[in-house]
């Protein structure tokens, strides 16, 4: 398991996670948003090559509620991570 799992990161650190987990789907929880409601801080919840496993993770999460926001990103090794 990666040391980055469950650790809160700043949005600018997403590129590092992207390269560390190339070829996998990343499930991120939005922990904090900026004044424009864009993600500012994220927590890597899980990562896997199979997107369905991450979807199952959310469905089976006993602490899930409507206030949580998630991002699911494919860390494509053929494309750079671009933050806009």
Residue 17, both tokens: 């996670």
The answer as to whether 84 is a domain residue is: no
Please report the pLDDT score of residue 84 as a whole number. Answer: 64
Q: Which two tokens mark 43? A: 């927590």
- Residue 47 pLDDT more than 90? yes
Domain extent, residue 12, equals 8-74
Is residue 28 domain-resident?
yes
Measure the CA–CA gap between 35 and 76, rounded to whole angstroms: 29
Going edge to edge, which strands form the sheet with 69-74? 8-10, 39-48, 25-33, 69-74
Greater confidence, 82 or 38? Answer: 38
- Residue 8 in contact with residue 42, Cβ under 8 Å? yes
pLDDT confidence of residue 52: 96
Asked if the structure places residue 1 within a domain, the reply is no
Return phi, psi of residue 28, to 5°: -120, 140
């Amino acid at each position: 398991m990666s040391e980055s799992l469950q650790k809160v990161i700043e949005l600018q650190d997403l590129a590092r996670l992207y390269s560390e987990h190339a070829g996998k789907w990343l499930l991120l929880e939005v922990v904090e948003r900026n004044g424009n409601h864009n993600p500012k801080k994220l927590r890597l919840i899980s990562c896997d090559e199979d997107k369905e496993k991450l979807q199952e993770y959310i469905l089976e999460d006993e602490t899930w509620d409507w206030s949580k926001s998630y991002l699911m990103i494919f860390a494509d090794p053929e494309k750079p991570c671009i933050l806009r």
